[in-house]
Structure 1
């Protein structure tokens, strides 16, 4: 089975998540087509038999290029087993209302595009302090203090639950082969 693993990334964690998904697919004996939706490259992969798309949430929105791609491909995505991985930091918040908010981020995207993925997984992202400029590092550190998240700006902090992500991929593969 050939499975499209399409992703949009801003700071790199969603790409890392998509790469892990592709590796899990390949380890299960299927073929993964890893595609950076925001690269501007022409989508010329044909129509694989299934799809897992991944995108980060920033300021309560997914990247415009990602939403455009999903809107353009919604008919095909709805015709094959498909799944969505929404990447946000709020999903790991200690505040239940913020976690609840994060679980609803996909709602707007799905309503806007008409896509109906069979499964949605919420993955926590990362704080990439070492890659931020001074201003962004200062802002993110202040936000992290509010969330009781790590504030050591001398290193990056990753929160993705790789075991849960693998279980999600296994579930999607089972669904796709049913």
Structure 2
């Protein structure tokens, strides 16, 4: 089975997640086509047999290029097994109401585009302090402190649960072949 692993990224964690998904697909014996949606262009073949798309939430929005891609490809995405990985730090919040808000981030995207993925996975992102400019680093450190997240700006902090992600990919592969 050929599975498109499409992603949009802002700071790189969604790309890391998509790369891990593609590696897990390949390790299980299927073919993964890694595709950076943010760069635009066409993917190499007409249409793969399944798709997993990944995108981060920033300021309560998915990247515009990702939304445009999903809108354009919704008909195809709905005709094949498909899944969505929504990436946000809020999913790891200590507050249940914030985690619940994060679980509903995809609702607007799916309503707006008409895409109905078979599975949705919520992955925590990362604090990439080394990639931030001075203002963003200061702002993210303050927000992290409010959430009891790491505030050591001398290094990056990753929160993605790689085991849960691998289980999600395996569940998707099984469902896609059923």
Which piece of structure 1 moves more, 44-53 or 90-99?
Answer: 44-53
Distance in 1, Cα, partners of 2:168 & 2:46: 25
Q: Does 1:163 align with 2:172?
A: no
Residue-by-residue CA offset, 1:108-143 (whole Å, 9 max, x unaligned)? 000000000000000000000011111100000000
Quote how far apart the aligned CAs of 1:46 are.
1.2
Match in the other structure for 1:80: 80
Question: Quick check: 1:31 aligned with 2:39?
Answer: no
- Residue of structure 1 equivalent to 2:8: 8
Which consecutive residues of structure 1, in runs of 5 or more, have no partner in the other structure? Answer: none
Q: Matched residue pairs, number?
A: 178
Partner of 1:33, secondary structure, is: strand
- Structure 2 match to 1:172: 172
Q: What is the 5 A alignment of 1:41-56?
A: 41-56=41-56
TM-score by length of 1: 0.99
Deviations 1:120-174 (A, max 9, x none): 0000000000111111000000000100000000000000000000000000000
Deviation at 1:43, TM superposition (A): 4.0
Once residues 21 and 39 of structure 2 are traced to their aligned partners in structure 1, the CA distance between those partners, rounded to angstroms, is: 19
* Partner residue, 1:19: 19
Summarize deviations over 1:61-119 as a string: whole Å, max 9, x none. 10000000000000000000000000000000001100000000000000000000000
Indicate the residue corresponding to 2:131 in structure 1.
131
Regions of 4+ moved over 4 Å = none
Shift of 1:44: 4.7
2:122 is matched with 122
Structure 2: gaps of 5 or more residues = none
Task: Report the TM-score when normalising by structure 2.
Answer: 0.99
> 1 CA distance for matches of 2:73 and 2:42?
13
